[in-house]
């Protein structure tokens, strides 16, 4: 029986590709959230999967340091190798932090466009 399994391979590549494109579009001095990316990717209910995608993105040239959680906390800083690297990069871009070490989403939150509309 004929099977078209190659379509499956393409799908996962598509998902990663979406996340890569969005993160790559994050402007200077701005940050976005996993939920926002997930929504644009079409998996709004699974911000978790977005983080997983970034897990592979950290090996890429993507500014993963501009991706934070809902509260603006640097939840993924540990995966940068140096926990201080993420904060230092954002501060270097003019991003402000709160006492809790969270990004001031009020001023630096950036929502990606639905490029897949």
Partner DNA sequence: TGGATGACCTACA
Partner DNA sequence: CTGTAGGCCATCC
Could you list the residues that contact DNA (CB under 7 A)? 11-12, 15-16, 33-35, 43, 45-52, 54-55, 57-58, 64, 67, 69-71, 75-76, 78-79
Helix (H, G, I), strand (E, B) or coil at 102: strand
Comparing CB distances to DNA, the nearer of 58 and 114 is: 58
What does the alpha-carbon distance between residue 65 and residue 79 come to, in Å, rounded to a whole number?
10
Both structure tokens of 92: 């270097």
What does the alpha-carbon distance between residue 97 and residue 8 come to, in Å, rounded to a whole number?
42
The residue count of the chain comes to 117
Both structure tokens of 40: 């644009």
Comparing CB distances to DNA, the nearer of 12 and 107 is: 12
CB of 113 vs DNA, minimal distance in Å: 19
Comparing CB distances to DNA, the nearer of 13 and 92 is: 13
CB of 94 vs DNA, minimal distance in Å: 20
Count CB-CB contacts under 10 A for residue 37: 25
CB of 96 vs DNA, minimal distance in Å: 19
CB of 29 vs DNA, minimal distance in Å: 18
């Amino acid at each position: 029986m004929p099977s078209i399994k190659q379509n499956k391979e393409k799908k996962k590549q598509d998902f990663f590709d979406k996340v890569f494109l969005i993160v790559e579009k994050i402007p200077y001095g701005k940050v976005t959230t996993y939920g926002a990316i997930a929504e644009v990717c079409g998996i709004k209910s699974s911000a978790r999967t977005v983080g997983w995608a970034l897990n592979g993105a950290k090996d890429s040239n993507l500014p993963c340091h501009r991706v934070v959680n809902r509260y603006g906390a640097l939840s993924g800083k540990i995966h940068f190798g140096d926990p201080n690297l993420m904060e230092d990069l954002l501060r270097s871009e003019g991003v402000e932090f709160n006492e809790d070490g969270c990004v001031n989403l009020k001023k630096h939150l950036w929502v990606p466009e639905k490029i897949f509309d």
